[in-house]
């Protein structure tokens, strides 16, 4: 269940981040309200994820997968292409998240 909370936190964080340009520096009310709600829900769900998953694992997964998804969605929605070096870096981030999660089964929060 903790990984479902983490997945939800990632989705809401990515949603909030994708709305940053749409909010136009918080001058547009609806995108700004949804952005704030998305970030708030993301942090709320993170509190449930860290009950069963070590905070280092939660944060690495949340941040790493969030960066990857924002880069992918920025290409799709905003046409912001990346150079091959950035794509390689994103692949390394995803690989790092997979490694961290694969070898963290023995680590538990105190």
pLDDT of residue 85: 92
> How many CB atoms are closer than 10 A to CB 108?
9
b or e along 14-44 (b: 16 or more beta carbons within 10 Å of the residue's beta carbon)?
bbbbbbeeebeeeeeeebbeebeebbebbee
CA 101 to chain centre: 15
Q: How many residues does the chain have?
A: 110
pLDDT of residue 7: 97
pLDDT of residue 105: 64
Question: Which tens digits make up the pLDDT trace of 53-65?
Answer: 999 899 989 999 9
DSSP state of 53: S
Report the run of H or E that residue 75 belongs to, with start and end: helix 55-78
Average pLDDT over residues 85-95: 90
Average pLDDT over residues 72-78: 93
Q: Which of 62, 55, 84 is nearest to 17 (CA)?
A: 62
pLDDT of residue 94: 86
Domains of the chain, by residue range, sit at: 2-102
């Amino acid at each position: 269940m903790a990984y479902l909370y983490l997945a939800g936190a990632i989705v809401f964080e990515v949603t909030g981040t994708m709305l940053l340009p749409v909010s136009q520096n918080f001058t547009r009310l609806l995108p700004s309200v949804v952005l704030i709600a998305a970030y708030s829900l993301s942090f709320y769900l993170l509190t449930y994820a860290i009950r069963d998953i070590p905070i280092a694992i939660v944060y690495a997964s949340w941040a790493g997968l969030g960066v990857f998804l924002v880069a992918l969605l920025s290409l799709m929605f905003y046409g912001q292409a990346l150079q091959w070096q950035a794509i390689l870096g994103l692949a390394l981030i995803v690989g790092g998240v997979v490694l961290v999660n694969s070898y963290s089964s023995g680590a538990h929060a105190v």
